[in-house]
Amino acid sequence: MKNILITGGAGFVGYHLALHAELNKADRVVLFDNLNDYYDPELKYGRLAQLGFAVDGETPVMEEIKSGSRENWSFFRGSLEQADHVNALFDKFGFDTVVNLGAQAGVRYSIENPQAYLDSNMQGFLNILEACRNHPVDHLIYASSSSVYGANKKTPFSEDDSVDNPVSLYAATKKSNELMAHTYSHLYGIPCTGLRFFTVYGPWGRPDMAYFSFAQKITAGKTIQIFNNGDMMRDFTYVEDITESITRLFDRAPAKGDGGEAAARVLNIGHGSPVNLLEFVKEIETQLGMEADKEYMPMQPGDVPVTYADTSKLEALTGYKPRYNLAYGIGKFVEWFREYYNL
């Protein structure tokens, strides 16, 4: 039995992780999120409502909100970049497993608002590491990103590939998180696993993600923009494949090597079968039963033409191979999308 902290608990992946059956075996689950307005906060309130939490924009900072449907589940509204918020949680609960999913997401937004990434992704992650240092945990699992591979031309992307050439500030902060985790693991013995997520999608997703934006525009009769003239490949990963993999890692923390190497590792977490962007759009059109009006655009700054995960290390460690195909995943998203927006 475990005490588990999920930061970014009102976010897309955090919510689905909390839904996972494995977490119902925990002694206590604590969700932590700042409920910011990077995208529509109503989605965050809605996700939390599904977990039994009554929260909204007026929810007090760092007041414990109990779940009405899950015993020993708590939610706190707070910010990772506020060390006193993070420390208060660790002082109160003493966690066994920490899953740090809280971060400022988005490649393109990092060009518009770089400070948000330094605050949340750097200072916020430092505060998590310091808390794990002062309140030792069995396993710190944290979100990295496939964006660390930059414009890597070798496919599939392996954890052993060089990641020294990021093409966005978002990617640079995620690479920095990996270095910070390795350092803290080496110095203080914190077992750390960084997960390089590959284009996660599914119900209750983020509106800034392409599939969500495409669905909104297609159903509203608006034009969708296809970047790099559609000549892009993405390793789309259904969210339930992500959460199943994460929960299987809970009790599989890395250990220090015989030579004193840090108990730190990074793992790709993707589907392992990239799909052409136009094929992806076609699947959304099929599931919606509508055709999109398309505008073909050049590549955007910070974007990359291909993502493709080598997931062999994750599969060897967890015994799990992602199993949900695109038709199933987009079908589940569209089913939720229609219901949520009353279409």
Q: Are 156 and 123 in contact (CB under 8 A)?
A: no
The residue among 77, 234, 38, 89 whose CA lies nearest residue 147 is 234
How many CA atoms lie within 13 Å of 119's alpha carbon, on the beta-carbon side?
10
Q: Is 170 a catalytic residue?
A: yes
* Cα separation values, 111 from 75, 137, 172, 175, 279, Å: 31, 35, 12, 17, 28
Cα diameter, the chain: 61
Choose the catalytic residue: 38, 39, 142, 170: 170
Query: If you count them, how many residues does the chain have?
Result: 343
Q: 163-172: string of b/e by CB count within 10 Å (b at 16+)?
A: beebbbbbbb
**Residues ≥6 apart with Cβ < 8 Å to 1:** 25, 26, 27
CA 198/CA 147 separation, integer angstroms: 8
Give catalytic residues, as residue numbers.
170
